[in-house]
Structure 1
Amino acid sequence: MADLILHHYPMSPFAEKARLMLGFKGLSWRSVFIPSVMPKPDVVALTGGYRRTPLLQIGADIYCDTALIAEVLEHHRPEPALFPAHLKGLARVVSQWADTSLFWASMAYSLSPKGAAALFASQPPEAAQAFAADRGAMSSGMNRLRPGDAAGAYRSYLRRLAHMLHDQPYLLGEQPCVADFAAYHPLWFTRRMVPAMSGILEATPEVLAWLDRMHTLGHGSAQRLSSTEAIAVAAAATPEPVAGEHFQDDHGIALGSRVTVAAESFGTEPSEGILVAATRTRYTIAREDERAGRVHVHFPRIGYVLKEVRV
């Protein structure tokens, strides 16, 4: 099988979720660093528009969103399981909450004026300004928590996690599952990226001990790859066939139609291509790029909007 290539940057919390899942699975992977703010021409060459971090590339197949990346890694190496059979539904529900409600409370708290100043203290002022402008554009139209409201919500969520960890080492039992990785990364950002804001974690020692356990899973074995080399990998490969996958039509949009797929909120730049698969869990579009060649770009259904492009 082709190499696993993760497109990411070090301070991205969702990238940390993916890196730690790779470590949990004991996988080797190629590491491509991408910019934290636009422009991202090499990312867009692969996705056609989607610019959120991280991406997982396998040959000419591009997987967007860590919810889908988790599924792909589970298929690639089933054990140890991210989705234990007896916990699949609960693990997914907790993960979705952690990737949304917990994440946004954590970010609004951690990147309050004090936190943002600490995060960019060693960088020139224009770096902080560019980051703020970029994330402002990505969140246009979103209802964002104010720092005070976020702090209250974050404390409540941390107590809930502590209750889950009261008599067991991981959120849903004796072994980590996808719920742990989803809950870990926003707290990792607070603790590791903006330690000036990490005092909020001290009221929940069970959570701190769990963070330490999760940290020991590591990131697997990574080797650097340039974005130019990653694009060349895509250009030299052929997307995996999708023929025979079950078609679930919820939109009245036929396979073979020109469509866009975009996130429901935050980073809603659409990717455009030909709809080649719409299963019960994902959309797949085929697109052509002058550098990357023919690629298949995959998105989870939940959290994404499919629209037909009408001429």
Structure 2
Amino acid sequence: MANAQSILLHQYGNSPFSEKVRLALRLKNLAWGKVEIPTIMPKPDLMPLTGGYRRTPVMQIGGDIYCDTALILRMIEARFPERALGFGGHEGVQSMVASWTDKQWFQTTVGLVFGSLGEHISEEFKADRSAMSGRKFDTEKMKLSVPLLMDQWRAQLSWVEERLQASKSSGIGDWLLGSKPGLTDIHAHMNIWFLNKNLPQMTREFLRDAPRTEDWFDRLNAISGPEPEEVSSADALEIAKNSAPRLLAATVGTEPQGLAPGDHVSVAPDDYGQVWVTGELVSAQPNKITLFKVENAIESLHIHFPRAGYLVRKVES
């Protein structure tokens, strides 16, 4: 039964960013709990955990809430170091790869998926994604762009194929950066997984010209791990209310804005889903910022965000 030590992933099945975390959990053979959340707003049982942050997935461990896949993967590695997914000598590379897969390649994939399937997408979903992105979610416009996006998608797929060929030729192995799968493989897998989930025939046509990538993709998909426990959102909320976050020193590094522990600050993504989450600053480091006593959330939680890809501003009391 899930408790304050359990990994709880607030997610839904077709979420590509959730699949990144699910794959990491399988690779590390970790037990975890699955909390199904709606694909569109409202998400009433998630907001008390995040103070308004709405993107998927969110990871909860007791009274600690981790927002954004980039931070979630780093924290899984830090808190559960066995079966490490990062490799010495490649520090930072996985984050650089993630920036490409999560933005440039993902936007191409989104255009292909929704441009091809637009007639099957509900008006509620379109309205929700329009509100999240701040611009019209125009599947008709995406449809016109599908031939151009196919060219772009194939070009980016070829980079994975080139990397796998180089790994094999140099004797490194059958994975992107080593003799076993790691974070870089997880990041590169996401867009192929999402396209294959929605447009399997198109995906396999692309992969026919990338045989090493097709083999690599199928091997990653075949990796299994513990089946997740199904946890209700109500139970996840109870765990959060009755758990204390891990002790965390109230510290900051060199902060360009001169932030200090105890300051009232707001945090939001810099691209889409830009909802400002406001609370008391606990810790600010180059790659993570932590808030306490967050507005519209359970007061005792620590809510953690990455720094890259997020805006932070000081709020005058």
Count of residues in Structure 1 that have an aligned counterpart in Structure 2: 302
Secondary structure of the equivalent of 2:305? strand
* Residue type of the alignment partner of 1:28: A
TM-score of the pair, normalised by structure 1? 0.90
Counterpart check, 1:194 vs 2:199 = yes
Counterpart check, 1:257 vs 2:263 = yes
Structure 2 unaligned runs (5+)? none
Alignment check: 8 A CA contact 1:4 1:58 kept: yes
* Residue type of the alignment partner of 2:226: G
Q: Residue 102 of structure 1: CA displacement?
A: 1.5
Q: Paired residue for 1:115, among 106, 113, 117? A: 117
Partners of 2:112 and 2:297 lie apart in 1 by: 40
Residue of structure 2 equivalent to 1:175: 180
Name which of structure 1's ranges 132-141 and 142-151 shifts more when overlaid on structure 2: 142-151
Counterpart check, 1:133 vs 2:139 = no
Partners of 1:290 and 1:73 lie apart in 2 by: 26
Secondary structure of the equivalent of 1:221? coil
Alignment check: 8 A CA contact 1:23 1:221 kept: no
* Residue type of the alignment partner of 2:112: Y
Counterpart check, 1:69 vs 2:72 = yes
Alignment check: 8 A CA contact 2:267 2:313 kept: yes
Residue of structure 2 equivalent to 1:86: 89
Closer, same or farther: CA 86–250 of 1 in aligned 2, 3 Å:
same
Structure 1 unaligned runs (5+)? 121-126
Alignment check: 8 A CA contact 1:19 1:219 kept: no
Q: What value does the CA root-mean-square deviation take over the aligned residues?
A: 2.2
Residue of structure 2 equivalent to 1:269: 275
TM-score of the pair, normalised by structure 2? 0.89
Partners of 2:74 and 2:235 lie apart in 1 by: 25
Secondary structure of the equivalent of 1:211? helix
Give runs of aligned pairs for residues 98-247 of structure 1, distance below 5 A: 98-112=101-115, 114-117=116-119, 120=120, 128-140=122-134, 146-166=145-165, 167=168, 168-198=173-203, 199-243=205-249, 245-247=251-253
Q: Residue 195 of structure 1: CA displacement?
A: 2.2
Q: Residue 28 of structure 1: CA displacement?
A: 0.2
Secondary structure of the equivalent of 1:87? coil
Residue of structure 1 equivalent to 2:42: 39
* Residue type of the alignment partner of 2:63: A
Residue of structure 2 equivalent to 1:123: none
Partners of 1:265 and 1:15 lie apart in 2 by: 19
Alignment check: 8 A CA contact 2:12 2:39 kept: yes
Secondary structure of the equivalent of 2:300? strand
Partners of 2:136 and 2:91 lie apart in 1 by: 30
Q: Residue 27 of structure 1: CA displacement?
A: 0.2
* Residue type of the alignment partner of 1:54: P
Q: Residue 142 of structure 1: CA displacement?
A: 9.6
Alignment check: 8 A CA contact 1:170 1:210 kept: yes
* Residue type of the alignment partner of 1:101: Q
Name which of structure 1's ranges 158-167 and 133-142 shifts more when overlaid on structure 2: 133-142
Alignment check: 8 A CA contact 2:49 2:65 kept: yes
Partners of 1:248 and 1:285 lie apart in 2 by: 18
Q: Residue 148 of structure 1: CA displacement?
A: 3.7
Q: Residue 301 of structure 1: CA displacement?
A: 0.6
Alignment check: 8 A CA contact 2:62 2:243 kept: yes
Alignment check: 8 A CA contact 1:275 1:284 kept: yes
Alignment check: 8 A CA contact 1:46 1:292 kept: yes
* Residue type of the alignment partner of 1:182: H
* Residue type of the alignment partner of 1:188: W
Partners of 1:5 and 1:278 lie apart in 2 by: 24
* Residue type of the alignment partner of 2:117: G
Closer, same or farther: CA 142–258 of 1 in aligned 2, 3 Å:
farther
